[in-house]
Amino acid sequence: MKLMNYCLGNWQEGLGPGSELRDAVFGNVVATASSDGLNFEEILHYGRTVGTPSLHKMTFHERGRALKALALHLTSKKNEFYKVSYQTGATKIDSWIDIEGGIGNLFAMASKGRREMPDDILYVDGKAEILSKNGTFIGHHIYTPKKGVAVHINAFNFPVWGMLEKIAVNLLAGMPAVVKPATATSYLTEIVFKEIIASKILPEGAVQLICGGARELLNFVDSQDVVTFTGSATTGQMLKSNKRIIERSVPFNMEADSLNCSILCPKADPNSEEFQLFIKEVAKEMTAKAGQKCTAIRRVLIPESRIEEVVKGITARLEKIVIGDPREESVRMGALASRDQLREVQEKIEELKKSSEVVYQNKDFNLVGGDREKGAFMAPTLLLCKNSQAIEPHSVEAFGPVSTLIPYKDADHAIELANRGEGSLVASIVTHDSSFARKMAIDIGSHHGRLYFLDRDCAKEATGHGSPLPQLVHGGPGRAGGGEEMGGLRGVFHYMQRTAIQGHPSTLTKVTGVYQPGGARPESEKHPFRYYFEELEIGQTLTTHKRTITEADIVNFGNLSWDHFYAHTDDTSFDGTFFEGRVAHGYFIIAAAAGLFVDPGKGPVLANYGLDELRFTKPVYVGATIKVKLTCKEKVNQEDREGEIPRGVVKWQVEVTDEEQEVVALGTILTMVAKKSS
């Protein structure tokens, strides 16, 4: 079978015989891949001229809905993906991480887009900056999608997850992608990609696929493009130094394999739950995906006094691991991705042995199914390095089921060893001592992209040392590549341009779709609660009548709320306090404000949805007279759902002032407002 490339809106077969891709379990050829004959310059141009305009027409909510629909479609086809995944040497659990973990990224980002982003094509970042004395000149920041293509160069170990976790964020941002999977396992990427195209959920040009080699692809990227790379640090550095990337200042995000570590707290004795969790976690990370994970534990930092117990504990678990054909029910660890990968890991083990001794390696392991000679099988290998000055454990990575135990003297020594890896994706700290956890966070955080604290309290729900999640950043400094991906909306912003905007508040209100302080607030012709969601205009304002605060108001609210704070009840001495006399409850002021601005009749406003950003800025004393300005601040569209009233959420700025025209309370209330179509 010859793999197909999807480019320029068509499936295309590369010229020539192509590269042979082999089953990692039996060694037989399962496919060939070639990109010969493809015009990479045209591919990028097609993405920019066809994919970019199509995605830019969609709002964040529309893109989010597309991601959800795509996730549901791929879920319905996942059983077919599993069948192919076994050929990569992955067990069912390994495949679950790759396939359903990747689909989970689509679900997660779909939710982020629909719940945390506006139904718009630009995103407003942060709060306004007042740049002038009278507030007629302000600044803000917005994000808009870049007008280029995201080029994703992925690794062989996660042919599905690697693709889906990346396109989830660039598509939500409004940027098309060219996916370049590692050739060795691209036959699994291709079958998933075929379903993406067959679903017809994404607009044309949103995604393209190159299964064969693509060394010249980066020669045609431009300043509006973004390149991401996952793989070895050596390859990543070579790609990052491409002349075109440097000349055009093309953003390049690298996530490289690194020497991640796990640290056992000195207080965790062999009888503690944490000790057992540590042993289990290390053994799991050595064998999951046959150790072929960029987040796998390579360095195992343990107290000097625990060497014997740790070796015994990990060895006992590794001895139980059944290796072989992942289709066999008893198998718990499959093959490496290829024979080439097997040879490379064996070479790296020899380098590590220069300063370390092998404490576990069963070369005569029983193979259940598969082909020992043609497949890419190896047993887990555990080493011990007692030389604290050794270089190899902190510089050599065997990308397979290999870990090195490194004893430490005390907490400071553990910190020094952890940081000698010169940057990693993740470090785990297994401890029930919160002070130890804090010390580690402060002293090794600078060298690690993620810190995973594991103890008895979180163990049942914790996702594991090696599991990056779509809500949190994945990446790390130094050797780990110096980049980051995923991270919820943080990942989306990598594919957008953050731009500072300056001008009059009214102008910036129109630009952002969010009311800016000092902007025009035209009085509403009728009560704002009489307007449907579509009819409301940003800045539309109601100025209420006035209300004078009485002592009875304060007493009655205190009795009703049971809030008898001294400032509301004591009418005698206020020496050493903020107050000059009995003061009204802040919550009474906001309640009284609601009494002034709420229109009581049945209408488009369906319900009070909540309260944000409430501040009490000035005490309100007996005899003060307040009034309210209610301003339409922002409109958040909600998806129409069967059986429910079509609606959106409207954010209203509530500004309460006193008789001196000074603001005494400021907040944002949210209401559910029906759409006119209902």
Q: How far is CA 196 from CA 93, 136, 183, 504, 519, in A?
A: 23, 49, 19, 45, 45
Rounded to the nearest 10 degrees, how much is the dihedral formed by the CA atoms of 600, 604, 607, 609? -120
**Catalytically annotated residue among 261, 294, 385, 632:** 294
E-state strands within 472-592: 473-476, 483-486, 496-503, 541-543, 547-548
How many Å apart are CA 440 and CA 451, to the nearest integer? 9
Is residue 632 flagged as an active site residue?
no
Where do runs of H (alpha helix) occur along 408-504?
411-419, 434-444, 489-493
For residues 363 and 400, give the distance between their C-alpha atoms in angstroms, rounded to a whole number: 15
Is 287 exposed, middle or buried, given 0-12, 13-18 or 19+ CB atoms closer than 10 A? Answer: buried
One-letter amino acid identity for 280? K
Residue type, 458: C
Nearest to 295 by CA among 487, 425, 448: 425
Catalytic member of 190, 255, 274, 655: 255
Q: Are 426 and 449 in contact (CB under 8 A)?
A: yes
Contact predicate 212/33, CB 8 Å: yes
- Reduced to 3 states, what is the DSSP secondary structure of residue 331? coil
* Residue 285 known to be catalytic: no
- DSSP H or E stretch at residue 93: helix 92-116
CA distance 192 to 99: 9
CA distances from 321 to 92, 251, 367 (A): 15, 43, 11
| Cα–Cα distance, 586 to 588 (Å, whole number) | 5
Instruction: Tell me which residue of 385, 485, 421, 402 sits closest to 233, measured CA to CA.
Output: 421
Distances (CA, A) of 356 to 9, 149, 316, 378, 393: 53, 46, 20, 19, 8
The residues facing 255 across adjacent strands are: 230
The residue length of the chain stands at 678
Catalytic residues: 255, 294
